[in-house]
Amino acid sequence: MKLRKVTAASATVFALALTATACGSDDGGDSGDGGGKKITVGIKYDQPGIGLKEPDGSFSGFDVDVATYVAKELGYAEKDIEFKETPSADRENALQRGDVDFIAASYSINDERKAKVDFAGPYLLAHQDLLVRADEKGISEGTDLNGKKLCSVTGSTSAQNIKNEIAPKAQLRENGTYSECLDGLASGAVDALTTDDSILAGYAAQDQYKGKFKLAGLKLSNENYGIGVKKGDTEMVDKINKALEKMESDGSWEKAVEANFGPANYKNEPAPKIGDIVK
């Protein structure tokens, strides 16, 4: 009888331990220590060279390579990384809701966003530019863009820059994705697609667009790409920053730049120093 009592008590303790373990696993990858858990990373699905979901379901792009490297440094195997599409207008909400553990999605660091989320990085310095049709001769450095038909993405810093600083009187169309803007540029509905030169270079390098579009070569702003995390998660920020520093020091950063931007002859800036925001 005594043996059965001890066994029953042990079973109760064991069941409670299992319950506690199960409850603890709800945190997913938030702890950043891997251990076979999944980590969810927000990326773009429609930006060639940056973040693209391929027809076979795989993912490619510079942000994808950065996110994969960082996740591995956090202790996650590649099979445990889940990429989730995160449109520009929903990035802050996705972090606040806990839909993703971090975001690497051409996410420019600015004061408005820093009030809502925290950033690691920067890991790339890009510049706002224009993508125009190859035969376009009316847009060059010094051109007044007011009155021009421009297209960008809702929630992007590029759209805000056009409205607030660069060309307040431009006819700005804001679409959900850059692909929609590209269709408008190809059809002649808009004069230019405006966003970061790194993103534009990715589109220009696509086989189906070669010879059809070109970058205007303007540096309309500085865009410091950071990795967004939930506000207040300083531990995660520190871990990601260490991973980014290692990625640059071991040569992986340069390899990722060449692999994703090389075909477009994109002249990238050197790897930025962590915490150094170029205004």
The two tokens of residue 238 are 């520190």
Q: Give the mean pLDDT of the chain.
A: 87
Give me the mean pLDDT over the 140-152 stretch. Answer: 91
Q: Looking at per-residue confidence, does 17 or 278 come out higher?
A: 278
pLDDT single digits (tens) 87-143: 999 999 999 999 999 999 999 999 999 999 999 999 999 999 999 999 998 888 878
Question: Comparing 106-110, 179-183, 273-277, which segment has the lowest mean pLDDT?
Answer: 179-183
pLDDT, residue 79, reads 96
Give me the mean pLDDT over the 216-237 stretch. Answer: 96
The secondary structure of the chain as a DSSP string is -HHHHHHHHHHHHHHHHHHHHHHHGGGTTTTS--TT--EEEEE-SEETTTEEE-TTS-EESHHHHHHHHHHHHTT--GGGEEEEE--GGGHHHHHHHTS-SEE-SS-B--HHHHTTEEEEEEEEEEEEEEEEETT--S--TT---TT-EEEEETT-HHHHHIIIII-TTSEEEEESSHHHHHHHHHHTSSSEEEEEHHHHHHHHTSGGGTTTEEE------EEEEEEEEETT-HHHHHHHHHHHHHHHHTTHHHHHHHHHHGGGT--PPPPPPTT----
The two tokens of residue 61 are 């792009």
What gap in Å lies between CA 194 and CA 159, rounded to an integer? 8
Class at the top of the CATH hierarchy for domain 127-215: alpha beta
**% of the chain surpassing 70 pLDDT:** 87
Confidence tier at 35 by pLDDT (50, 70, 90): low
The answer to whether the beta carbons of residues 86 and 105 sit under 8 Å apart is yes
pTM summary value:
0.80
Q: 33-125+223-264 and 127-215 share one CATH topology?
A: yes
Q: Which residues pair with 152 in a beta bridge?
A: 174
Residue 1 has pLDDT above 90, yes or no: no
Name the CATH superfamily housing domain 33-125+223-264: Periplasmic binding protein-like II (3.40.190.10)
Give me the phi and psi of 65, to 5 degrees please.
Answer: -65, -40
Instruction: Report the side by side order of strands in the sheet with 51-53.
Output: 46-47, 51-53, 59-60
Q: Which residues pair with 222 in a beta bridge?
A: 127
Q: Looking at per-residue confidence, does 16 or 194 come out higher?
A: 194
Confidence tier at 172 by pLDDT (50, 70, 90): very high
C-alpha torsion sign, points 169, 170, 174, 178: negative
Give me the mean pLDDT over the 20-35 stretch. Answer: 43
- The domain ranges of the chain are 33-125+223-264, 127-215
The two tokens of residue 89 are 């207008």
